[in-house]
Structure 1
Amino acid sequence: MIDYDVVIIGGSLTGRYAATIATQFEAKVALVEPPQQEFPYLLTPYALTSLGKLRQQYSEIASDAVHPNTVQWAEVMQKAKGVVTNIEELYSPVILAALGVDVISGIGQFERTPSLTFSVNQRQLRSRKFLLATGSRPVIPNIEGLQATAYYTLPEVLSVLTSPNPPTRWVIMGGNPSGIQMAQIFTRFGLDVTLIVRHSRILPQEDPEITQLIQAALEAEGVRILTATPVSQIKQIQGKKWVQAGNQAIETDEILLCAGQQPDLAHLNLKAAGVRSHCNRLVLNAKLQTTHPRIYACGDAIGGYSFLNIANYEAAIALKNGLFFPRHRVDYSSIPWAVFCDPQLARVGLSETQARCSYSNVVVLRQYFKSVAAAHLEMTTTGVCKVVLAPTGEILGATIVGSYAAELIHVFGLAIAQRIKIDKIAQLAPVYPSFSEIFAQIAILAYQTQLIRPSILDRFLALWN
């Protein structure tokens, strides 16, 4: 006997989103979440992006000799938590229950009795399909002395920052989006920050010119960045913390780990269900199906950067395949993502480096924000729009660094999804002044490189003009 069409093993906001989507498919749904589930990670990157803007509002107050670590942190964090609360309310258990979702609070595991079930609170949940939409936990690097020395991860650091006397000197380990965002926010609130990155540059998956622009912006605000610098040892000597990074010994008050996230799956007894993993990552096919045909996964359960829009996209694909005929495959080529630093970084599709590895010939167009009137009006002219094209005018990818990059990138995402070439982008007539003018500027470059040419009819008619 089947109790549900799908049981969602949650612990993330994506799990609640998936439950909402499943009800729209008229499925009978159960959502299993750990007790007292909270989503503190929502404060980054979404709510944290507001901290920098609010900090700028306090700049005049701070310049009047108000200590940067007093009123601002408590007030700004209160506002940021308000944002998170509003987001959570959209998918609260009360709303889910009203939609018909059976919300179950508890920690369970898979069992074979003899058919596959999910056991929670002494109940055996039987379902046609299961969806893993669990949360994640921070990666703790294997560094000598780290476990013996107190350190913080993202969810834990929030309470420290709102304490009466927060530490002023911080070492942040990790050049991923969270590390970059936290380094900038800490600096804007008057804290002394050293960002240590073991790779040769921050965000190593991106093109060097893009990461250099972001790094320059961070360093201009006072962030000390050490690249290609592995941390070999951490010690606490006479109440002081020392971080051995390369050939440098750095004294700090506290350490923040931003070394990435890993799926939180250990308690689910997946091995008994026949679900295999490799290097702590689930083995999945393009339909987001695990090695057990009735178990799918999405979001943090898969691993990688914690981008909520990508996780929600995966949840929708997995549910369509699980509840109906499994014919949908994930295609990340048109799914954008963004890092909410200042200036923002957003990308969709291939970077230039990736495109040159896959295509023998590509065309790269660059237009800088200093050519956009709106950027001058808002005094945010730092930025670039970089578009990677095939010689046919097909858009392979786009990267935007600058104000409103997370909004502007969606035009290129739609273009890639619908196979809209650059000549169609040239037909846009963006509002003036607005940051969307960058599209018109890119179109001008496409004309100059002859990627956009007059049609045969236009050239024929031109002979009679």
Structure 2
Amino acid sequence: MNEYDLAIIGWGAAGFAASIKASELTDNQMKIALIGSGPLGGTCVNVGCVPSKFLIEASKNYKNAKDPLYNGIRSSATINFGAFMESLNNFVKNERESKYSNVIKNFENVDLYDGLAKFTGKNTVSINDKEIKATNFLIATGSRTFIPEIKGLTDYYTSDTIWSLNKIPKKLAIFGSGEVALELAYAFSNFGSEVHIFNRSNRILKGFDEDINRELIKALKNNGIIFHLGMNFNEIKEENSKKSIITWTGTFTDFDALLVATGRIPNIDGLNLKAAGISTDNGIVVDDKLKTTNPSIYAAGDCIKQPLKLETLAGKEGVIAVENIFGSSKYVKFNEIPWVVFTEPNVASVGSTESELKKKNIEYTVRTVELKNVVKANILQSYTGIAKIIADKDKKILGIHVVAPNAAEFIIEGVSLIKNGLTYDDLIDTVHVFPTVAESIKIAGQAFIRDISKMSCCMD
């Protein structure tokens, strides 16, 4: 039996971050087993963040080439989608090698085990025909797509498998309305697909307030996406390679492809967690220090019970778990974690929403600015969107929520404001660059103290 100081199950964002941090803290002296299956790097680099953002950026480039934004500019574009997807998959391969395969070679103290781990006791696991014992464990097995039970649902793509597509669907049905569903819907609508989003709930993006969702739906409808919300679907039928979706209110026909993006569930089924004394409840149960009900086993990332599933959060939790194994008492401050949907416009959020504050009976005030008040947004000809700031009675900023171009790039200002307990007076007192879309946050702050319709550009 091989023995280790630390065994990490899962080699995605959380697992890699944990193995590197543990190595750094011990000058590469800690003996670590890194166990995983499938390509190194897990979801994000292989089938998640990296390929989806490559797809989105390429689709914007194609759409703008076909239909330029500005008067007086004429252009045209064609696409070989098969060749494009080959370039996408090559890019993913290169990033995986650069950021994971080559990186782990720097840590000779880390042994890789390719296989599915299963607990055989409170401090032992088996992988294939090998058994490993470790002083401490970290479970970081991530998540997978949830597949709903729908009669006839057999031939479909998920966000894991869509990367094998080599032809643009003329008509695409998407089940789900979370960030993955909306991002892929946006990309394929740019490529020319007629995209229909079906969702049993009558809303999108569970974590956002309704005004944010309304603005995003408006923008996506302008992009040609058709929404079917509050729609119960009973059966999928296929004839001559065309799919029909039968709902309680009618039948929708002639879909070339179906994408299931109805959320993700923790990858914990085969771990035999009971043998290790680990409790679960829609994910692995951990305390605020990421320790499971087995005191020598921690867990991090999408496999644990928590409200957000983000690559950056998983990496942060992997690091925190290791630091706590070494005696720290760190924890994740969820109100400081930014969340982004990479449609166009972007949706970016950090801190509390109005609905959360109402549930907690916390007094607050809010100011919302439309993008038409932001010069750079007008230059970009992006007129749909808002910037919203929520503050308490003492002016301290509690939440910032933006629907705007490039919001993913500047929501970090909101993180800094909330992390440091700053007020909208502090925000206003900070000189911003003009013209930028990021200025929308400052203008929303200024809306607390004046009528912005009576304010010139660069007014402080």
In the superposition, the TM-score normalised over structure 2's length comes to: 0.88
Amino acid at match of 1:106: G
In the alignment, what sits opposite 1:267? 270
Q: Does 1:186 align with 2:188?
A: yes
Q: How far apart are 1:247 and its partner, in Å?
A: 0.8
- Unaligned residue ranges in structure 1 (runs of 5+): 450-465
Q: Assess if the C-alpha contact under 8 Å between 2:7 and 2:32 holds in 1.
A: yes
Q: Where does structure 2 lack aligned partners over 5 or more consecutive residues?
A: 69-73, 452-460
- Alignment check: 8 A CA contact 2:198 2:231 kept: yes
Q: Please name the residue that 2:107 is paired with.
A: 99
2: CA distance between counterparts of 1:239 and 1:422? 56
Q: Which residue of 1 aligns with 2:156?
A: 151
Secondary structure of the equivalent of 1:179? helix
Question: Tell me, what secondary structure is at the counterpart of 1:233?
Answer: strand
* 8 Å CA contact retained: 2:371, 2:384: yes
Classify 1:223/1:35 alpha carbon distance in 2 versus 1 (closer, same or farther; 3 Å).
Answer: closer
Describe the SS at the equivalent of 2:273: coil
Superposed CA offset, 1:7-46 (max 9, x none) = 1111423322322222222243221111544622234543
Deviation at 1:423, TM superposition (A): 1.6
Displacement of 1:390 in angstroms is 0.3
Q: What are the equivalent positions in structure 2 for 1:251-290 lying under 5 Å apart?
A: 251=253, 252-278=255-281, 280-290=282-292
Q: Find the aligned partners of 2:411 and 2:48 in 1 and give their Cα distance.
A: 24
2:112 counterpart letter in structure 1? V
Give 3-state SS (helix, strand or coil) of 1:99's partner: coil
What is the correspondence of 1:58-73 to structure 2 with a 5 Å cutoff? 58-59=65-66, 70-71=79-80, 73=81
Whole-Å Cα distance in 2 between the matches of residues 365 and 83 of structure 1? 42
| Structure 2 counterpart of 1:9 | 9
% of aligned pairs identical? 28
**More displaced 10-residue stretch of structure 1: 185-194 or 372-381:** 372-381
SS of corresponding position for 1:102: strand
TM-superposed deviation, 1:234: 1.6
In the TM superposition, what is the alpha-carbon distance from 1:209 to its structure 2 partner? 1.1
Q: 1:207 aligns with which of 203, 206, 209?
A: 209
Distance 1:310 1:382, change over 3 A: same
Q: Is the 8 A contact 1:422 1:443 kept in 2?
A: yes
Secondary structure, aligned partner of 1:412: helix
Distance 1:346 1:45, change over 3 A: farther
Structure 2 counterpart of 1:6, which letter?
A: L
* CA distance, structure 2, for counterparts of residue 249 and residue 298 of structure 1: 42
- Please state whether the residue corresponding to 1:92 is helix, strand or coil: helix
Q: For the Cα contact (< 8 Å) 1:10–1:134, is it kept in 2?
A: yes
Conserved in 2, the CA contact under 8 Å of 1:171 and 1:254?
A: yes
Cα distance change of structure 1 residues 389 and 359 upon mapping to structure 2, 3 Å threshold: farther
1:457 match: none
Alpha-carbon distance in structure 1 between the residues aligned to 2:358 and 2:390: 10
- Which 10-residue stretch deviates more, 99-108 or 362-371? 99-108
Give the residue type in structure 2 aligned to 1:74.
G
Q: Secondary structure at the match of 2:227?
A: strand
Q: In structure 2, which of residues 85, 88, 106 is the aligned counterpart of residue 80 of structure 1?
A: 88
Contact (CA 8 Å) 2:51, 2:92: kept in 1 or not? no
Match for residue 55 of structure 1?
A: 62
Q: Which runs of 4+ in 1 moved over 4 A?
A: 35-38, 63-66
Code of the aligned partner of 2:396: E
Aligned partners of 1:355 and 1:396 also within 8 Å? no
- 8 Å contact 1:234–1:244 — kept in the other structure? yes
Number of aligned residue pairs: give it: 436
Q: C-alpha root-mean-square deviation of aligned residues, in Å?
A: 2.4
Q: 1:409 is paired with a residue of what secondary structure?
A: helix
SS at 1:4's partner residue?
strand
